[in-house]
Amino acid sequence: MSEGSLVQFTDKLLSENIFTCAACDKLLTIPITLVEDVGNVCNECCRHNDWPGLPNTKLQMILKELKIPCKFHTTGCNERIMFENLRDHESNCKFHEKPCLMSHMGCEWKGVQRNFPSHFVEYHSDNVLTNQFNIFVIDVNIEEATNVTKLLKGKQECIIRIKKDEIGDYLVYTICDVKNTECNNDCIIKHVGQNGNCVETKCKISTLNDIQVTKINLAALRQMTDASDMITVQIKMSNSNDCKEFDEKILQYFECPVCKTLMKPPIYQCKFGHSFCSNCRPKLEKCPNCRALFGTTRNYSLEGLTAGISYSCMYHHLGCEETLMVNELDKHEAICPFKPYPCPLDDCSFRGTHSNIGKHLDENHKDRVIAADFYKTTVEFRLEQMIDFYNYQQKFYMVFDENIFRLSFKRNSDYSFWAVEVLRKKHDDSVFIYDIGIIDMRKPDRKLIRCDLCFTDTNCEELFKKCILFPNNILASYACNGMFTYYCQIRKRQ
């Protein structure tokens, strides 16, 4: 019988319900039992009803020789499978309709796997994270009954779900490829607490039909990261076939025996030749290996060999994948997008990357932040009241193009001072200039303008010694009804 004829023969038998269980109306399963006054029934129905009967071995033999259409043919599957492999295929079929993974949030969508990513992006966009480098950051409240579901879109698309176990002792992760394909990709999960400590675990990305879980002990996590409620979870997906291979026999000679990081110049050594990095050396009175005293000897031979080593960025534990030569490392680390920064406001304990410090200022300190490169205000000004304003000072923060500046205005009995500091630069080689303009509001075209370079790394004592200042008696001529108006504008030096 030809292939086409066999297909027609199979479909005819199926349409006449020859292979349909007389009890449940589903496709028969082996062993098939012929029950008197009932008909051919599947094994499950026979056992459930405790029916006596005879094995229908001939029908079983015919069924085993046929290719049966997948039961999900109505949703798009065109596969015909040998009967003995049919159950395995249908349990993994990508056309199997499943509910949305956000059903716990009330979503009633149900569909095939291929349509799930587009549905998720359209209806759950707040839960979609995108990063072309496959590095994602999620803030998780581990004190609550957590159930966080995110779609991670990068070089690969994955669903991650984070929740507590039923007892509440573990944080449970499931990470699945949304295309339901087997892959060799690893996933590194890092938990960063308020103290900067990091707890890291590694897992494989699974399929939706073969979900694997990873568990993190919450008590240990809190202790290691000093976390009470919120913790930052960083997910990094990488293909194990693309991982760079290092010659560990060479690298072990560059590992500092104290902090375990790769040493870079200057490298110090004790009199017996044990070497240490420049960060650890000042903390050591004696060599921890041989207890010998230190001098000022450096290991110049080892320093010379560092020119051939690629170093990981010091913020690699926060997600940076850069590896650079030693002469390029400092410049990169100064502007690394994963470098953590404290909030510039003294009374705020927030820490974040360069990109989210600006967002934090805008969301939490709007009364003190100007989201522009131009700021104009009117200030009370009376010469006879200057004594009351001795060392009067205000601070404002200006954010534009991901650069963050602090404008400080100070006044004493003789002068008014303006200073602008660069707190965070988007590019390390940028130089900025600030203009201070005094406006006579009676005649707006009459202005007094001075400019200077924005400050970097200047302490408070020196700040107002080199800044823009105007004598108060000159400002008095620009005052109107006891008030004077000034503006500050920041621009990049060309």
Crossing angle of helices 83-92 and 57-64, rounded to 10°: 60
Mean pLDDT of 144-155: 79
Tokens of 22: 């007389």
DSSP count for the chain of H helices, then E strands: 12, 33
| Domains of the chain, start order | 3-92 (3.30.40.10), 98-242 (2.60.210.10), 248-334 (3.30.40.10), 342-492 (2.60.210.10)
Taking only the tens place, the pLDDT of each residue in 238-284 is: 654 444 444 456 777 788 888 877 888 888 888 888 888 888 888 88
Q: Say whether the peptide bond before residue 99 is cis (omega within 30 degrees of 0).
A: no
348 Ramachandran zone, left/alpha/beta (phi>0; psi -120 to 50): beta
Using CB atoms within 10 Å of the CB of residue 244, give its burial: 0 to 12 exposed, 13 to 18 middle, 19+ buried. Answer: exposed
- Alpha-carbon 240 to chain mean position: 20
Give the pLDDT score at 146: 67
C-beta separation of 402 from 355 below 8 A? yes
Instruction: Of 23-37, 96-110, 295-309, 363-377, give the range with the top mean pLDDT.
Output: 23-37
Indicate the pairing of strand 98-99 with strand 415-424. unpaired
Q: How confident is the model at residue 381 (pLDDT cuts 50, 70, 90)?
A: confident
The Cα–Cα gap between 42 and 25 comes to 10
Is pLDDT of 148 > 90?
no
Give the pLDDT score at 181: 66
Percentage of residues of the chain with pLDDT beyond 90: 11
Give the pLDDT score at 147: 78
Taking only the tens place, the pLDDT of each residue in 12-41 is: 888 888 889 999 999 988 899 999 889 999
Give the pLDDT score at 45: 92
Q: Within 10 A of 228 (CB to CB), how many other CB atoms are there?
A: 11
Give the pLDDT score at 451: 92
DSSP 428: T
Which secondary structure element, helix H or strand E, spans residue 41, and what is its range? Answer: strand 39-41
DSSP 493: -
Give the pLDDT score at 239: 56
DSSP string of 253-271?
Answer: GGB-TTT-SBP-SS-EEET
